[in-house]
């Protein structure tokens, strides 16, 4: 993938991560906490965070100290 494609993918992942965060918060605020659904959403959110970190590491070159 080119840097531009990685940046676009990164932005989409960040949006989805933010949306999941809002969905989890709304579910907890509404008091309709389905434990299984909540766990699935949190697991998906963690997976997205891992992908975000991986892409960010690809975009930011290692600096030699």
User: Considering the domain boundaries, does residue 17 fall inside one?
Assistant: yes
* pLDDT for residue 63: 58
Residues 6 or more apart from 10 whose CB is under 8 A from it? 52, 55, 56, 59
User: Considering the domain boundaries, does residue 12 fall inside one?
Assistant: yes
User: Considering the domain boundaries, does residue 49 fall inside one?
Assistant: yes
Q: What single string gives the DSSP state of each residue in 18-43?
A: HHHHHHHHHHHHHT---HHHHHHHHH
Instruction: For residue 12, give its domain range.
Output: 7-59
Rounded to two decimals, what is the model's pTM? Answer: 0.83
Exposure of 47 in the CB half-sphere (CA atoms within 13 A): 8
First to last CA, the chain: 27
pLDDT digits (tens, 9 = 90+) for 7-52: 999 999 999 999 999 999 998 888 876 888 889 999 999 999 999 9
């Amino acid at each position: 993938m080119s840097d531009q494609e990685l940046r676009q993918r990164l932005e989409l992942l960040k949006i989805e991560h933010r949306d999941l965060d809002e969905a989890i918060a709304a579910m907890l605020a509404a008091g309709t906490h389905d434990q299984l659904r909540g766990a699935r959403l949190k697991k998906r959110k963690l997976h997205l965070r891992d992908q975000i970190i991986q892409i960010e590491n690809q975009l930011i070159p290692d600096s030699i100290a």
